[in-house]
Amino acid sequence: MADTLVRAAPVQATGPRRRTRTRPGPRSGIAYLLAAPSLAILLLGLGYPVYWQVITSLQEFGLAQQFGQPPEFIGLDNYARIFGEDDLWAVVVRSLLFCMVNALLTVGIGLALALLMRAVRPWVRIILQSCLLLAWAMPMVAAVTVWRWLFDWRTGVVNWLLVQVGFDGYAGHNWLAQPLSFFFVATVIIVWMSVPFVALSIFAGLTQVPDEVLEAARIDGAGAWQTLRHILVPMVRPVIAIVLLLQVIWDLRVFAQIRLLQDSGAPVSETNLLGNFIFELGIGRQDFAGAAAVSILVLVLTVLLSWPYVRSLMKELS
Amino acid sequence: MTAARTRRRVGRGALGALALLVAALWVFPVYWMVLSAVTPDAYLRTSTPSFLPTHFTTGNLEAVIGGSGFGTALRMSLAVTLVTVLAVLVFAFLAALAISRFEFRGRRSFVLAVLFVQMLPAEGLFIAQYKMLSTASLLNSVLGVSVLYTAAIVPFTIWMLRGFVASTPAELEEAAMVDGLSRFQAFLRITLPLLAPGLVASGVYAFLQAWNEFTVALVALPSESAQTLPLWLRTFLAASVNRGVNWAEVMAASSLLAVPVIIFFLAVQNRMTSGLVSGAVKG
């Protein structure tokens, strides 16, 4: 839910350039005044933390510094120390894998549902859209809580259903105790939460494919599959590209869902993703320098990944 | 010809059935949350779950609302959300005016910065934010967490409002000024009413973000007495994990967090997403 309406934004990327009427010249003093409060809060809430992290990641920040010693500049030692640990690399690989699997699954299922919406009667489509919206509207913490109840080892619906269809081994199966099935549950939750946005965005793109084009394809004898492959999918490719990019960015930063699922007693060190690793390092073990170094890695990755998205948004600004 | 049509109709029927199945699958967790919330816990512990509301009760909800923590967390959530929404609206509105109505040096860089910081993940910043608040003695305070929320929400809101301001013609305002109104009066009477839908949409967006937020709250509000509702829900569940979870009450707690948001979301969603999505896609 945290991303509810941010998730409505990317489609703007495919939008038209709107001519903005701007007044040139002498009144720019007022413009600075108007932008000042936002600029101030951004510098305070985001700018200063980034600055602090860069500085801290280059300093010795141990117990002595906790008690007021001035920090010592040690260059890239923190980076060398943290990136020399196998722990971190295990987390990085796990995060990247998790991110890719989730992003691809989400966009794949989202595309399939968008095409399904296009193929069915309006009343069926409205039911499907409403159900997706309900899932989309769920606050993240409430969603994870419900899924924990569904996957509950004793009286959860999932185990009950599996036993009903013949998998007796799942009676009392604890999904969250093993890393692999833990990530399976996490993937189910994240895909469930993210698909509505992707499906509705791609569907919005599909509705823009002109009827004449589809008509022409039919007259030329194109079958359903050919129409799909050569007309529909290529025409919504820009939307697909943007939602895929956003999913990659968002799934790289999965933290809260993992943290909440770990509460059930999952093996923490084997289920941590990047965000959880930073949290544990910084707030758990008070290794602020190391946590700052890993945070910088996350920020750099995000900025690199965001670049195409931001560029496509900038096009809108004339 | 008729054979093809029949085949198409059958195919459509099968797809329709599939779509309804998917719809049921997607909505089930929401339904199950609400159903469990109004079912006595004893009936949730049976070996065969019941999928219909056969034993309706409001007992779980009453227990949760009357229980310790809910009132405090609700007040905290309301305070943080209110402060954040107001700050976001004022700041973002002014900045949106600046970038869509004025040409100034650094405008492009400002927009670029706004778009980039909107992508920054809380997970890449929360260690520094935690240190910052603890140094300023603002951990567990409404002010501290509101500053972080405002900074996180303002960028997207500026972008959203920019679209609304840009589509409000400045000519109308100028015409009113020719008719003798001052710039401020013209703005107040002509432009502001046209921007109302945009402000409502931005306010709702900020509300949903602040109300549901978990990650930043986790680091900024470590004390149990300063928890917002999402943190409280987590504690509520965690407290009972070791002695067998009372899922009926946990689902009642989840529903108390989620149902107002869902209603709010659905009430305004149509206007908001149709403005954002289809308006943008259509071109």
User: Minimal Cα distance from B217: which residue of A?
Assistant: A256
Q: What digits encode the pLDDT tens for the residues B226-267? A: 999 999 999 999 888 777 789 999 999 999 999 889 988 887
Q: What digits encode the pLDDT tens for the residues B145-162? A: 999 999 999 999 999 899
The helix/strand/coil state of B212 is helix
Q: A84: exposed, middle or buried (C-beta count within 10 Å: 0-12, 13-18, 19+)?
A: exposed
The helix/strand/coil state of B102 is strand
B259 contact A CB<8A: no
Q: What pLDDT shows up at residue B68?
A: 81
CA B137 to chain CA centroid, nearest Å? 28
Q: CB count, 10 Å around CB of B24? A: 13
Mean pLDDT for the stretch of residues B183-194: 83
Q: Which residue in the set B47, B101, B118 is minimally distant from A22, CB to CB?
A: B101
DSSP conformation class of A283: I
CB neighbour burial string for B93-122, b if at least 16 within 10 angstroms, e if fewer: bbbbbbbbbbebeebeebbebbbbbbbbbb
Q: Which of B156, B199, B121, B281 is nearest to A5 (CA)?
A: B156
Mean confidence (pLDDT) of chain B: 88
pLDDT of chain A along its 318 residues, tens only? 334 333 344 344 344 444 444 445 556 888 999 999 999 999 999 999 999 999 999 988 766 676 777 777 888 888 998 888 888 999 999 999 999 999 999 999 999 999 999 989 999 999 999 999 999 999 999 999 999 999 998 889 999 999 999 998 888 899 999 999 999 999 999 999 999 999 999 998 898 888 888 888 888 888 888 888 888 888 898 889 889 999 999 999 899 999 999 998 889 989 999 999 999 999 888 888 999 999 999 999 999 988 888 888 888 775
B contact residues 185-214, partner A, Cβ 8 Å cutoff: 205, 208-209, 211-214
Tell how strand A59-60 and strand A72-73 pair up: antiparallel
Distance in angstroms (rounded) separating the CA atoms of residues B197 and B279: 14
Q: Which residues of A touch B131 (CB under 8 A)?
A: 52, 56, 288
Q: How far is A209 from chain B (nearest CA, A)?
A: 10
Instruction: Return phi, psi of residue A74, to 5°.
Output: -125, 20
Q: Which residues of A touch B46 (CB under 8 A)?
A: 155
Q: Break chain A down into helix, strand, coil percent, rounded to 5.
A: 75, 0, 20
CA distances to A300, A303, B99, B113, B227 from B108, rounded to whole Å, are: 22, 18, 9, 9, 39
CB neighbour burial string for A291-305, b if at least 16 within 10 angstroms, e if fewer: bbbbbbbbbebbeeb
Q: Which residues of A touch B151 (CB under 8 A)?
A: 41-42, 44-46
DSSP conformation class of A72: E
Structural tokens at position A112 = 């399939």
Q: Break chain B down into helix, strand, coil percent, rounded to 5.
A: 80, 0, 20
B contact residues 84-103, partner A, Cβ 8 Å cutoff: 87, 90-92, 94-95, 97-103
Return the residue matching tokens 């419900």. Answer: A146
A186-195, B49-58, B73-82: which range is least confident on average?
A: B49-58
B181 contact A CB<8A: no
The helix/strand/coil state of B45 is coil
Record: contact B130-A207, CB cut-off 8 A: no
Record: contact A145-B250, CB cut-off 8 A: yes
Q: How far is B75 from chain A (nearest CA, A)?
A: 18
Say if residues B174 and B191 touch (Cβ distance below 8 Å): no
The helix/strand/coil state of B278 is helix
